[in-house]
Amino acid sequence: MKRLTSVLGYTAAALTILAAVLLPFLLFNLFIWGVAATGVRIDPLYSGGDPLRTIEKGGYQVVVHQPVWRRSPLERTHSFVQLTWKPVSALPARVSDEIDLDGDGNPDLRAAFDVPSDPKAALRVDVTPLTGRVEPMTGVGKQSFSCLIARVNDSIVLRVPLRAR
């Protein structure tokens, strides 16, 4: 009887450990669905804002995101607009594009940067304002969260600081 009790105890312990290991995998989709149902979203400060429109540039695309506005004067980041060039494999060795941010038909900035073949190479960008909407950038890499250029997977992300509204 004592042996049967210990076998049952060890079996119960093993099944408990197995359930503890497998249960998260079995319930993961339910957890994701539950979080998605709450309407929780990633802060645009981190995601760069929702895509606003895509500009076709003959072989590659430039995605213009919605502007991310500074919420309070105490925030350390500035207002910015995020631009995404993709795919990197279709980009020329030197990109120099005029971009219309607000869709009015007039370009608001010219962004120029080299696209090195080494994905780990540092990027530098020059942004020339063509209207009063953006701040100029010269030789900027990863200067700040709202003023940077970076390679992310198969795209190049540029964040350009906006002038105050």
Q: What is the pLDDT of residues 7-54, one digit of tens each?
A: 888 898 898 998 888 888 878 888 888 878 888 877 777 788 899 999
Q: What is the structure's pLDDT at 109?
A: 95
Please give the C-alpha separations between residue 158 and each of 2, 35, 38, 128, in angstroms, as whole numbers: 70, 30, 31, 13
60 band by pLDDT with thresholds 50, 70 and 90:
very high
129 band by pLDDT with thresholds 50, 70 and 90:
very high
Which amino acid is it at 46? Y
Instruction: Give the DSSP H/E element, type plus range, for residue 2.
Output: helix 2-37
Q: What is the structure's pLDDT at 40?
A: 80
Bridge partners, residue 110, by sequence: 98, 128
Asked whether the predicted pLDDT for residue 165 surpasses 70, the reply is: no
Query: pTM to 2 decimals?
Result: 0.77
Q: What is the structure's pLDDT at 80?
A: 93
Asked whether the predicted pLDDT for residue 58 surpasses 80, the reply is: yes
